Amino acid sequence: MSDTQRSSDLAPPCRDLRSKEMYHQPAGQEDDEFASGIYWCCRSQESFGPDGQPVGKRECCAGRVCFVD
């Protein structure tokens, strides 16, 4: 695993990222085998962000134009 990949795994995602798991799993808990893997942006209300790019735990990170810390 590269250092870049490790740092993106540790970095918190954008505050506007949402998933149904966040409503029933404790914060910081790893995804379980039943996780949906479906994400949406709170700002765009879609599976893509305001910048038109897909959303997800790894995609919504610092460096994106729409990222909110």
**Domain residue ranges of the chain, discontinuous segments joined by +:** 1-69
Give the least confident one: 26-30, 36-40, 53-57. Answer: 26-30
Quick one: pLDDT band at residue 37, thresholds 50, 70, 90? Answer: confident
- On average, the pLDDT of the chain sits at 83
| The predicted structure's pLDDT at residue 22 | 81
**CA separation, residue 27 to residues 49, 51, 53, 59 (Å):** 22, 26, 25, 19
Give pLDDT tens digits for 3-34: 444 444 567 889 999 998 888 777 666 777 77
| The predicted structure's pLDDT at residue 6 | 45
